[in-house]
Amino acid sequence: MTEVLAFILAGGRVDELGGLTRYRPKSAVPFGGLYRIIDFPLSNLMHSGIRYVGVLSQYRSSPLINHVLDGSSWDFYGRNRQLKLLPPFKGEKESDWYNGTVDAVYQNLDFVRSIQPDLVLILSGDHIYKMDYRPLIRFHVEKKADLTIAFVRVPPEESYRFGVAEIGGSGSEPGGPVLRYLEKPEKADLEWASMTIYVFSTAFLMHCVNDAIGLLREQPTVEFGRDVIARMVQQGGGKYRIFGYKFSGYWGYTRTIPEFWAANMDLLYRPDRIDLEKWQVRTNLDHRGIKERIPAVYRPGARVVNSMICHGCEIRGEVVNSILSPGVVVEKGARIFNSIIMFDSHVGRNTFLNNVILDVDVTVADGVVLGTEDDLSPNAGQVCVVGEGESVTHEAAEKLRQTGIL
């Protein structure tokens, strides 16, 4: 049996998400009412039978640590199963921050040596998808690859946002050799985007990381896509066996506010592509006391259409095409459309919200209007965001109308 160690890259902030990552890494941002983004790779690893996981945390890691804890919510606890949170640390040489994804793995090579895996699976902790990693791993082993990268098809005009590749091989196979690889090119005709899912043979990973870490003398960070994969593919000549694996399922990139909002809306409008019940996503039900909350309560006058309402919510107003996390209160006369309301937020009487994201513990004053009543259809281009713990007064609402973020 092939032993696999997984690293989850879970420490990034992602500036494009604005207030949602003000106090937490992107991987700990709530998604789909009940979950956190990191629940998706953790659940995938659990269902794939991966036994050893290291979570590489960094930016404002407390919310992530409180959520993941010892990994028992995903069965990573026991004699032959292990999850470890691996924040930056100071060792013999001064270092208190991960200087890129390569450095994050480099600083934890002792953890790799302690497990002695045959393969190392490296994953981004901030994407929404369902994937069984076992076919990917089998493909890697069958091809005797040094490195296998998972790719998903994107429109060529979007290629500038990703590491993109040309993949060879026959159409009957799930993938093939990586013939070209460009990291976030200004313009390219390549349509296969890296999902930041890498399978390394352990010895090859050690070689890559030890070789690339020297670049920190010349640049502030060292990244797998830009500084390892792109360089090795360019060297070519059959020196390295680098393969691409084609993934055809749902993949929510969620790097920007419109993308994050759209992925949540897909739960309401595209259940054939993203179905959390069928995906069997796990979460930590002790985090924010989820499992102790009472069922949702619908008071007289409540109206709910095509929405996800989690337990602990109390609804007195109207909720349409929206997702409400546990503990949300919607007062009488409130009207909510196309919005995401996170844990324990309170929406006052006679308010109107359309295309809005409220982070946790937000209070919206009575009578506040956010969004337009002219068009009640979902519109990712008009989403406004209120950060954690904010109070939306009428004055704050005017600021939101001007900037889109509070």
Domains and CATH numbers, the chain: 4-260 (3.90.550.10), 293-403 (2.160.10.10)
If we measure between CA atoms, which residue out of 308, 316, 379 comes closest to residue 350? Answer: 316
Residues 270 and 374: their CA atoms lie apart, in Å, by 25
Least confident of 38-47, 338-347, 368-377: 368-377
- CB contact at 8 A, 230 and 182: yes
402 or 226, which is more confident: 226
- CB contact at 8 A, 163 and 194: yes
Residue 329 pairs in a beta bridge with 314, 346
Residues 263 and 365: their CA atoms lie apart, in Å, by 28
- CB contact at 8 A, 348 and 334: yes
Tokens of 359: 């982070």
319 or 87, which is more confident: 319
Rg of the chain in Å (alpha carbons) = 22
Chain-wide mean pLDDT for the chain? 92
If we measure between CA atoms, which residue out of 163, 167, 175, 168 comes closest to residue 231? Answer: 163
For residue 17, what pLDDT band results from cuts at 50, 70 and 90? confident
- CB contact at 8 A, 98 and 87: no
At 406 the pLDDT is 67
For residue 387, what pLDDT band results from cuts at 50, 70 and 90? very high
Q: Which residues contact 39 (CB under 8 A, 6 or more apart)?
A: 31, 281, 282, 283
Tokens of 29: 């941002």
Torsion angle, CA of 224/228/234/237, rounded to 10 degrees?
Answer: -130
Q: Which one-letter DSSP state was computed for residue 93? A: S
Q: What is the pLDDT of residues 318-342, one digit of tens each?
A: 999 999 999 999 999 999 999 999 9
- CB contact at 8 A, 365 and 347: no
If we measure between CA atoms, which residue out of 80, 78, 54 comes closest to residue 68? Answer: 54
Is 94 a residue whose pLDDT tops 50?
no
Residues 101 and 346: their CA atoms lie apart, in Å, by 38
pTM of the entire predicted model? 0.93
- CB contact at 8 A, 328 and 347: yes
